[in-house]
Structure 1
Amino acid sequence: MAPTAGADPAQGGTTRGGATQGGTTPAPAPEPAPDALTVPEAPSEPIYWSAPPAAQPDYEPLPNYNYDTGRYNRQATYTPPLDLSTLHAPTEVEQAPIYIAPPEKIMIGDYHFTQPNWVTDDDRERTNNTAGLTRSQVATFWTSVGVDADRADRVAAAQIGGVAAGATAGAVAGAVPGALIGGTIGGIGGAALGGVVPLPIPVLPEITTGVAGTAAGAAIGGAVGAVPGAVVGGALGLAAGTAFGAGDDEGQPIEVELPDVNQDALTDQAAATIEQWQSSGPIGAAAAGAVQNAVQTAPQIESQAREWVTTQPGGDGVVAAVDTTLETFFGGSAGTAAEMISTAIGQGAGAPASA
């Protein structure tokens, strides 16, 4: 295969009569074949938020999605819209796959959320696996009643995303008025008692029944209001998702940017607030002093509280149970976010760096 000695390198181009014609620009390199694209590995032992079924679907790459570029390529073949007149009783069909989510993405139906800095990798994987399993089960059902597999998947993806978005919006909308109403009722009822609620830790101050009633009422009202809001919002999202998925010709993922917890900004904001309070007059200065004193003494209060609990009958078991609960909480996304926010605000309010 060695070239002839002294011969010039051949230049690609149009050939004629066995001779190479120079001067023609080489054609650009072709796009890599779909099977040459990078696809994240499927989890060998998937984890879920709830117990998985005995027979789990297979994992497959997301159709028409380029994992290298993060772009969706429009499907070349035509997928007919959902025709309700062709539906029939469920029959046994092949189970729809679970699609592998893009790296550092939370995929819920058609929605692709960027993983923010407060969502743990385990929680991201649990969410992707659980949402993917639900999508597979819904798509399998639609296929079993006579819907084309591609269309069944699009309806399922739109339904899952619609329910999630609708339930979240409904819960928020219902929780706010619920908390206001519950807090008002609880505050009035607590104030009518006219007493104080002693906390079980001697170093902490007592709080009035009005404050306790307001806090409890707000928590209960918020929780109660969120439930029907989530149900109604989820139902509306399901209806909207079904209608959208029934005729969607693109299958385009909806990219959503979830915000990170900006600890530096929170610290600066807390410090500016304390400074503003200090310069606003006697009341503001007293409030700022109280906050600063609280964050400064928090480590000592925790130590004293633990010591006091351990001296009570069964106290060691209580402390161990609390530690286990806290470890589980702060090991998840909610705890991570709470710790990042509280640490940033505490530092801005003057807490020790090690607190």
Structure 2
Amino acid sequence: MAKTLEHYQHLHQIPELGFVEFKTSAYIADALEVAGFKVTRNINDTTGIVAELDSGKPGPVMALRADMDALGHIIDGQLVARHTCGHDGHSSVVLATAQEVINEGVVKKGRLKILFQPAEELGTGALAMVEGGVLDDVDILLGFHVRPLEECPMGKAVPAMFYSAGATVEAVITGLPAHAARPHLGINALDAAVAAVQAVNTIHLAPNLTWSVKATRMLCDAGVTNSVPSEARVCWDLRSQFNEPMDTLKAKVINAITHSVAAMGATAEITVMKEMHAAIIDDDVTALIAESIVEVLGAEGLTEPQFTPGCEDFFHYPRQRPQVKTGFWGLGANLTPGLHHPEMRFDLDALEIGVQVFKSCVKKVLG
């Protein structure tokens, strides 16, 4: 546990945003090299890292993945990076697992790869790693995430976390400026933006599907209060438990925005800014993880698989490389008051549980 906590305490003090995890990446890569791994830094010209341990004997290639980036919060009017999604904990667990695996000679066949990924919060870090070729030779890939208290308490773990698909749609709405005393000479972008929000709110998918869409940002300012604004920027957050309804939802949102603003004479430039896929999880890998959880926590520590409306860019990996069998589990850690909350905290004793579960998985596959 000492090494895991040491890693966590260091990484927690140096939070860095996506694709600029320079200190974080250097610390992890240095530790992996000292442990004896073959380390490749700057994957695809990013801060991504791949470490490899080759047994020298035939066998499968197994990979463990951790994310490294922190979140940006506006606190006292300033943008600050904070580890409020537990990625420092994830990196600490996977780094300590790697060190213990090599020190204990766990890998007796095949190869073990350790992936430290940037920019999970941006939704593009996994894609950058895939483009860097890190999965081209991988057979099995495992990831995990600490869970909020209401989902999974300390002393329990979830063998499969079924994340939802998510997307961010932005519309830059353009009207025509005018003096507020002569509104008939302009096209009010703010009115058009409000109409677009209302139009999107009328969208319906089948009631048996789990989905949501809501406006989450609106920016519009003519600079003065007596002018008709000519531009507005609106963002919507889209969620769907499955990938296919997300395609339908995106199309309906784009259609609603386009036609509602056009009815007022405005135009909309629409961009899907960020997109993450719903979970693709292999049943056999889930069974492997479940066995390891029971081995570490006992049968009482194993929960049923869970669905969550949250998103995880981990699932770009199986979407881009469907030949890779993937598993993603959840670690109970008494995490409160919630993920992405500026004051998020969790029980650090959970980190050692994470190490032991991962070690057990590696032993079962490569031991």
Task: Using structure 2 for the length normalisation, give the TM-score.
Answer: 0.23
The structure whose Rg is larger is 1
Task: Using structure 1 for the length normalisation, give the TM-score.
Answer: 0.23
Greater per-residue helix proportion: 1
Greater per-residue strand proportion: 2
